[in-house]
Structure 1
Amino acid sequence: MPFRIAERRQDVFVQLIQRLRPIRGLPLWARYLSTAIIVLAFFGARFLQTEVQGSPFLLFLPSIVLSSFLFDRGSGFFATLFSTALAIYFFIEPRSSFMLQDIGSVLAEAVFFAVGLFTAAVIEALRTTVDALVASEESLGSSLSLLQGVIEGTPDPIFIKDREGRYVQANAVTARILGLPQERLRGRRDRDLMPEAVAAPIEAVDRAVMETRIPSVVEEMVIVAGQGPRCFLSTKAPWYGARGEVAGVIGIARDIHERKQADAELRAANAQKEVLLHDINHRVKNHLQSVISLLAMSKRRVKDEVAGAEIENAASRLSVLARVYDRLNVRDGERMATVSAREFLQGLCDEVGPVQIGLRPIALRTQIEDVALEAGTAVSLGLALNELLQNSLKYAFIDDTPGVVSVNFAKGENGEVWILEVADDGVGIPRACRHLR
């Protein structure tokens, strides 16, 4: 009760100073004229008293206080000077004169004058301090109102917990999610609102944030009133006290339950699509292998060498296409199916080379840089390599002549195109070289 009474008196004093603010905005002449009237009023009261005990200056002190309080420090100084002059002229011997006969009167006048100036200065400082405090309180109130508006207007739950995990502050969204009014939510812990199995991970993250002083972003399951468990993405950071100590944790969360379900459904659909795609590729590859086998059987039955060569060429081309399907790579998020150039071209060389070379003293050297090739490009490139490589191995070396066939795949000098080079040192021109860009 004493604290409330003192607080109420302080509020009245502050309100009085605020109400007198328009008076302090009067013109200078009006303030000084009003000050003179106040001093003359106290002078008249003093003059009408026939016998006054003590110093004649004391009855002028209220006029200085009142003038300083109503107007400003300048008015208080003016009231001090005017009161001193009136007291000397009318109440100190010899009267009707500004002469002072003894040292006591001089000291009394000096003390009164100093006290008057000091009083005016103190009242001015007090009023300035009150104005500054009121302005600061208004600014703080405006900032708090803005902050409260932002917190309450946010559609996401925002909360503050102390070191024991008790809710200190929470917006209306948080209270609605947890199923309690805001005033009843304060002082509660998560374990008081949710099952232990759900609350324990949440409280563990809160303790980790307070102990490490490192903000954390985690997914948490929360029991929402009337809906059951839902997934939230929570961002939590340490809440620091006035002395820099960790006083608790402050956090904001977002309901991502529907998004998590959509992501799970999308991942399941992608997995099913990938399985179907691999199955289709596998079936296509098997069909191609079947066709290749049928062509090989047909070749053995065909007596015409030209027809046999054409069948062999067709089987070789289908083999390239089957190899592309065998190494087809479809990544999640990519629009095109790709093939590793090094794996595909090197595999093609390893397949064609031994068959065509046989026991002849021919060396096959490869230098292939790796790059992801689109499936259609890989087919064209594989067909070209297959044709060039077979031509070199079949026709460049006559009568078991030794030699070297080199296959190079690298980026060109300008860095904009890739070059496939198949070269041999066999018969014909000194270096048979074919390029595909």
Structure 2
Amino acid sequence: MPAPNAESRQDFFVGLIKRLRPVRGLPTWARYLMTAGMVLLCFCARYFLTEVQGSPFLLFLPSIVLSSFLFDRGSGFFATLFSTALAIYFFIEPRSSFTLQDVGSVLSVAVFLGVGLFTAAIIEALRNTVDALVTSEESLASNLNLLEGVIEGTPDPIFVKDKEGRYVQANAVTARILGLPKDLLIGKRDRDLMPKELAKAIEAADQTVMQSQVPSVVEELVNVAGQGQRCFLSTKAPWYDANGHVAGLIGIARDIHERKQSETAVRSANAQKEVLLYDINHRVKNHLQSVISLLAMSKRRVEDPVAEAEIDNAVSRLSVLARVYDRLHVKDEDGTAVVNVREFLQGLCDEVGPALIGLRPIALRTAFDEVELDAGRAVSLGLAVNELLQNSLKYAFPDDTPGVVTVRLSHHGSDGEYALEVADDGIGLPETAWRTGTGTRLVRALAQQLGGSVTWHEPPGTRVELVIPKLGLT
């Protein structure tokens, strides 16, 4: 058949070009010496073949063609000049001389020189073009082999579909998942391979990608041969033809069935933990409220003002604990019980502030960044705010003096460091209060528990800054 013969000739020619490549790398003297040998062979053939005596140049052409093809145009030019010299000296009258007696001889020499030089240049250009094509084919074949290796080597299914949803390419993993050999899978659609509802959802997602021309990541249920339905995370992107028109889509998927089952189990466990935590928190909060009520009842029987103040402080601190348990919830990602600090501190200030301010002309301003803490650290932070806020509202504004108290928690520096600031523009704390007071000692102890440091700034007013490294959950 013509096609196979033409293909065989092409393969032979390409193979010949590849095998002859090392010859072009020979030293110049070697190439010219071999060229001279070819010219001399042609000279001998011309000298002993009497039937071509009338054509002094004809048999020299093979040496020009062959040297240009094997080496380069320089060798072809050398073959042309050497052949011309031999032809003039041995075959053109007067022989044994380089003299040309007539115009015809001059013209024949000029024509041969022109044809020889032109032939050498053209053959080298053709050879370079063929070399470039062969190199391109080799590079293309290498890239295709690399791409095939990547596609077949990945453990994930990779596939290409046309605009009608038919598979036009797929790796072995895709074929194994869908339960067909690769050659039988090509041309099939998802509706031919799995239940109608599953195929309908997959084909709808495919059409969305092709129509919007926007890559998409979607979770899909796929009917896996021998395993039933499994969940895959598929990444799909439009496939464009040479004219830039959408020809289909390219996709790669990852089996996430076990991960989805684990996520479901974690959500179920977290839901159970949330119920259990709510029950425990409710019980603890009730117990704390009972203790607070008992302290309040005890206060009625106490006549010592110092004892009454200590009972009030104890009630206030227990209220902080109760508020923490009221705000405690389960974090979905890992099931950790956490407190939203912004909501917790805002609620604490809303409760403590009005109770201590009463009708006095004092403004309470708050600002808290979003951060989540475990229960223990939230209690320490809440107790610190409670003590500092009470100190400001008790001592900073005597005799109904107007003023402003600010409570702020903000990100400070880098690496999760936060600063808690409680400031007022009042008269400042008494010497005994901020140096030796119970509340001050408690704040210092709480700062140590949080791994931070506390600083008092006076005057004017009082500003207390508690710097806490790595406050948030890690």
TM-score band, normalised by shorter chain: 0.7 to 0.9
User: In the alignment, which residue of structure 2 is the partner of 1:367?
Assistant: 364
Find out whether 1:410 has 2:414 as its counterpart.
no
Larger deviation, residues 344-353 vs 71-80: 344-353
Find out whether 1:419 has 2:418 as its counterpart.
no
Alpha-carbon deviations, 1:83-128, whole Å to 9, x = none?
Answer: 2222223333333333333322222221111111111222222222
CA separation in 1, counterparts of 2:395 and 2:87? 131
Which letter does structure 2 place at the counterpart of 1:146?
Answer: L
Contact (CA 8 Å) 1:365, 1:405: kept in 2 or not? Answer: yes
User: In the alignment, which residue of structure 1 is the partner of 2:285?
Assistant: 285
Which letter does structure 1 place at the counterpart of 2:231?
Answer: C
Query: TM-score normalized by structure 2?
Result: 0.74
Alpha carbons of structure 1 residues 344 and 117: separation in structure 2 relative to 1, 3 Å: same
User: In the alignment, which residue of structure 2 is the partner of 1:110?
Assistant: 110
1:246-285 counterparts in 2 under 5 A? 246-285=246-285
CA separation in 1, counterparts of 2:155 and 2:317? 61
- Of the three residues 333, 339, 347, the one matched with 2:351 is 347
Structure 2: runs of 5 or more not aligned: 372-376, 413-417, 428-460, 466-474
User: In the alignment, which residue of structure 2 is the partner of 1:101?
Assistant: 101
Alpha carbons of structure 1 residues 406 and 331: separation in structure 2 relative to 1, 3 Å: farther
Contact (CA 8 Å) 1:320, 1:383: kept in 2 or not? Answer: no
SS at match of 2:61: helix
Contact (CA 8 Å) 2:284, 2:325: kept in 1 or not? Answer: no
Larger deviation, residues 383-392 vs 282-291: 383-392
CA separation in 2, counterparts of 1:181 and 1:217? 27
Contact (CA 8 Å) 1:219, 1:234: kept in 2 or not? Answer: yes
CA separation in 2, counterparts of 1:118 and 1:269? 86
Find out whether 1:330 has 2:329 as its counterpart.
yes
CA separation in 1, counterparts of 2:113 and 2:314? 122
Contact (CA 8 Å) 2:367, 2:409: kept in 1 or not? Answer: no
SS at match of 1:93: coil
Alpha carbons of structure 1 residues 289 and 63: separation in structure 2 relative to 1, 3 Å: closer
CA-CA distance at 1:286 after TM superposition: 2.6
User: In the alignment, which residue of structure 2 is the partner of 1:13?
Assistant: 13
CA separation in 2, counterparts of 1:391 and 1:83? 118
Larger deviation, residues 70-79 vs 307-316: 307-316
CA separation in 1, counterparts of 2:66 and 2:23? 13
CA separation in 1, counterparts of 2:407 and 2:309? 31
Alpha carbons of structure 1 residues 76 and 13: separation in structure 2 relative to 1, 3 Å: same
CA-CA distance at 1:315 after TM superposition: 8.5
Contact (CA 8 Å) 1:73, 1:121: kept in 2 or not? Answer: yes
User: In the alignment, which residue of structure 2 is the partner of 1:181?
Assistant: 181
User: In the alignment, which residue of structure 1 is the partner of 2:167?
Assistant: 167
Tell me how many residue pairs correspond in the alignment: 414
CA-CA distance at 1:327 after TM superposition: 4.5
Identity of aligned residues (%): 58
User: In the alignment, which residue of structure 2 is the partner of 1:359?
Assistant: none
User: In the alignment, which residue of structure 1 is the partner of 2:382?
Assistant: 378
User: In the alignment, which residue of structure 2 is the partner of 1:210?
Assistant: 210
Find out whether 1:150 has 2:150 as its counterpart.
yes
Contact (CA 8 Å) 1:389, 1:422: kept in 2 or not? Answer: no
Contact (CA 8 Å) 1:222, 1:229: kept in 2 or not? Answer: yes
Find out whether 1:120 has 2:120 as its counterpart.
yes
Contact (CA 8 Å) 2:323, 2:344: kept in 1 or not? Answer: no
Contact (CA 8 Å) 1:346, 1:366: kept in 2 or not? Answer: no
CA separation in 1, counterparts of 2:314 and 2:277? 25
CA separation in 2, counterparts of 1:30 and 1:311? 110
The structure that has the greater radius of gyration is 1
CA separation in 2, counterparts of 1:392 and 1:40? 118
Which letter does structure 2 place at the counterpart of 1:367?
Answer: L
RMSD: 3.7
Contact (CA 8 Å) 2:223, 2:229: kept in 1 or not? Answer: yes
